[in-house]
Chain A
Amino acid sequence: MKQSEGKIGIRELMAIIMLSVGTKLTDDTPSILYSTAKNSAWMSMLLIGIVSIIPVFFLVKVFSVHKDKNLHQLNIHLFGKFVGNMVSFGLLLFGFTALVLDSATYADIISTMYFTKTPFLPIYLILLIVCGYGAKRGIEHIGSTAWLTIFYLKITLFIALLISFLQGEFKMIYPLWGPGIGEIVKTAGRNISVFADFYYLGLIAPLVSSYKSFKKGTLLAYLIVAIELVIPLIIFVMIFDFTSIEIMQYPFHEMILYISLGFLTNVETIFLPFWLIASFIRFSFYLYLVVLLFGGVFKIKEFEFLIPVIVVLVLFSGLAPKYGEFTIPHLREFFLTTLSPIFFGLPCLMLFIAKVRGDFKHEAAKESH
């Protein structure tokens, strides 16, 4: 029974992107930015947003002439069979690592911020089982779930941010240039891979109903997500100030623990379920991508059946590090830094090769006939 034959439309695509990239503001990505860019982390994020448009745009451009291929097939087409497979395999490793580190971080958030007495293992296990089930249902279901829930999720997020904005103090974002322009640019360069998810979107490009919706959806969602990541970074500083924010691991959760809605004091119980749903969708999507790529590289057609295996692998890799509390954030930071040049370079290289091979001319010729 193949379940992923269905296609998704522009709405679903945008919802998936907004949930999977947008939730990054709720994990420790902000604190990685704050650790070096201090109160000007938002500027680094803005810079990342501006610069990342280049690889994203290039990628979309390359797909304009290979509308029926996914990222893996495109790699083989452009780089040749051997190199293409190697590139895809590399991508698979990175994707898998991202999945492990991010999911372990999320399980850690749940266990340190909300369920303090529950051991880490069952939390992690349940998170992965739910996401595995989601991934098994295929992209169509992930897409429609994302679309169904996105408004609730974003509205609650918006409310939380609005309250924080009103309770915050705008003057705290000064001195405007924080640790200096040099440090802001360096931070941006190191963490440009915050948007690396967009590269992996190429894997589902042929699953989007038309190329036009893929292009439009990707670019529009990109714009929204970029704004969505910059503004909270300002708001966190407005609430906590630059000295406190540096030592905070999960600023978003500290924020919802702090704010109150009038007479309602423990409002985190309202935000938690929505955030959980967003994370489920995010990791279902990641898991789906990893399995899809795995199936591509190792030529396994019925790749959905790999999901339980991957889930178990992720679970054990996530549990493996000793002193996880300390190791995982460090690994994540290291990982983001390593991925950054790759995320920036690969799409450029792909566009370049496509140009040299004359793919664009063929396409133009095909269209004129």
Chain B
Amino acid sequence: MKRRRRVIKLCVMMPLVMLLTGCWDLTGLDEKVFVIGIGLDKAEEKGKVDITYLIANAEMGSANGASSNEPSSMTITLRASDFISMKNTANSVISREISYDLLRLILVSEELAKEDDFIRFIYSAIKDREVKRTVHLIVSKEKAEDFFDKNKPLFLSRPHKYYVNMLNRGNEIGLIPESLMHHFLRITEADADLFLSAYTTTDIKKTEDKTRADENDSLAGEMRVEGVTNNSQFLGAAVFSEGKMIGTLTGVENRIAMMINDTTEVSDVISVFPDPSNEDYQVSVRVRKKQNTKVNMDLNAEPPQIHVTLPILLDVLTDPPMNNPVESKKKLENIRKGMENYMEGRVKELVQRTQKEFKADPFGWSLYGRKEFKTLKEYMEFDWMKTYPDMKVDVDVSVSLGKFGRQPKAPSYKEIRD
């Protein structure tokens, strides 16, 4: 009796297992294609955008798929009203269901990013469940369609690997900003600071001068690279104010902005500074932040004042004049002072540029500003974005010297040449 009941129970329970597959939303992996990147371009028609899909070939790179001759990715461009309806529209060409589950980046052409209407198209990102707030928002100099077509990396031909690695590494070294959709939405909605987005292009200028003070102090496409290599550059930042692109920052300027801003992290910065003891040479330095940026404000003053202290730890990695700074305190102090002045100068330049050109700051200072207010109403009335261009901003860089490379001392130049 007991046994029979158990059997009956089991028979009743078994069909329930089928429910576990999630019925309606079930799709097999082999019935889907995965879009890695979406490109947005301006269309001549109002209310429409040209949308490009970068679709990864799932068979590439898997252990047994190596023999297949299919390309690793393909692109398709259509005119659509948004990238949600595009999922169906594109199926007239693509045989399988289109999925945004592995979407890594949304690439916007500079042309579209500078439009007022751009924000209308990008906000469909928060409507679709599959588009996450962790996708990267990137700006390309040329049309996004052309970028995806032309950009054929030699290694890492599987596109998701390539873009994720490229963006993460660029982020670590600070040459491109973090530029997640999440930050874009947050900063745009808070309406106080600037959002920085990674800037990229395949449109490389051919006739650039060979010598430059700092190769990174330029925008993507301007750096001179030779050899047989990837034909795209990721360098510098596109500046967004109120959800619209208004300008660009060079790689170095972006580094400075990221260093000052505590909400972003740059972990591995090696840069080139002019040598304080000999102007003909440059030294390589590793720049690290010792602590968080200290920001003091006096917002009641007229004009409001901000005092920023940026504690920096510098490792001087080269010594081309061969004058052995470690030998004397005076030389060390000289180097320290020289570096400090140089950095302060650069920071001040950037701050002035943001005040005059962009009329808002990319440093996240409004977050510090909030502490000075008791209620949201007071904060809103103060209107950070409006007040910032007139603020008096002081930046102190306090440099302390760290290591001097593996072998701090070098033989004297004169002795060798003797």
Contact = CB atoms under 8 A, between A and B. Distances in A.
29 contacts: A112-B129, A113-B129, A115-B22, A118-B24, A169-B262, A169-B367, A171-B370, A171-B371, A172-B367, A172-B370, A174-B367, A174-B373, A175-B370, A175-B371, A175-B374, A176-B371, A180-B375, A180-B377, A240-B186, A242-B376, A243-B190, A243-B191, A244-B185, A247-B189, A257-B133, A258-B132, A258-B134, A258-B182, A266-B101
A174 B189 contact: no
A38 B182 CA distance: 19
A254 B125 CA distance: 13
Contacts of B190: 241-244
A366 interface: no
A172 B134 CA distance: 19
Sorted from nearest, which 7 A-B pairs have the closest CB atoms? A118-B24, A174-B370, A243-B189, A171-B367, A175-B373, A115-B25, A174-B371
Interface string B14-30: 00000100111100000
A177 interface: yes
Contacts of B368: 171
Interface residues of B, number: 29
B192 to A, nearest CB: 10
A6 interface: no
B22 to A, nearest CB: 6
Given A169-B263, A244-B185, A117 B373 contact: no
A137 to B, nearest CB: 14
B186 A115 contact: no
A112 B128 CA distance: 9
A169 B265 CA distance: 13
Contacts of B373: 174-175
A115 B24 contact: yes
Nearest to A260: B134
A11 B151 CA distance: 61
Contacts of B134: 258, 260, 265
A179 interface: yes
Interface string A198-218: 000000000000000000000
A34 to B, nearest CB: 12
Given A112-B129, A118-B25, 17 more contacts: A116-B25, A118-B23, A122-B24, A169-B262, A175-B375, A175-B376, A175-B378, A176-B374, A241-B189, A241-B190, A242-B376, A243-B190, A244-B189, A247-B189, A257-B132, A258-B182, A266-B101
Nearest to B129: A116
A119 interface: yes
Contacts of B189: 241, 243-244, 247
B379 interface: yes
A119 B376 contact: no
Interface in A215-252: 240-244, 247
Interface string B190-208: 1100000000000000000
Nearest to B164: A265
A39 B263 contact: no
Contacts of B375: 175, 177-180
Nearest to A112: B129
A68 B262 CA distance: 59
Interface string B356-384: 00000000000110110111111100000
Interface of B: 19, 22-25, 101, 129, 132-134, 182, 185-186, 189-191, 262-263, 367-368, 370-371, 373-379
A277 B173 CA distance: 43
B167 to A, nearest CB: 14
A116 B26 CA distance: 11
Contacts of A266: 101
Contacts of A112: 129
Interface residues of A, number: 34
A119 B371 contact: no
A203 B375 CA distance: 42
A117 B133 CA distance: 21
Contacts of A171: 367-368, 370-371
Contacts of A176: 371, 374
A169 B178 CA distance: 15
A126 interface: yes
Interface in A246-283: 247, 254, 257-258, 260, 265-266
A122 B263 CA distance: 43
B347 to A, nearest CB: 21
Contacts of A38: 376
Contacts of B191: 243
Given A258-B134, A266-B101, A175 B367 contact: no
Given A115-B24, A119-B24, A179 B263 contact: no
A244 B262 CA distance: 20
Nearest to A170: B367
Contacts of A254: 133
Contacts of B377: 179-180
A322 B190 CA distance: 34
Contacts of B24: 115, 117-119, 122
Contacts of A244: 185-186, 189-190
Nearest to B366: A171
A48 B8 CA distance: 50
Contacts of A117: 24-25
Nearest to B27: A117
Contacts of A122: 23-24
B367 A39 contact: no
A118 B370 CA distance: 43
A350 B296 CA distance: 55
Interface in A164-196: 169, 171-172, 174-180
A113 B22 CA distance: 14
A174 B189 CA distance: 16
Nearest to B131: A257
Nearest to B104: A265
A175 B369 CA distance: 9
Contacts of B378: 175
A171, A177, A178, A265, most chain B CB atoms within 10 A: A171
A332 B191 CA distance: 31
A130 to B, nearest CB: 10
A237 to B, nearest CB: 11
Interface string A72-114: 0000000000000000000000000000000000000000111
A121 to B, nearest CB: 11
A307 B229 CA distance: 69
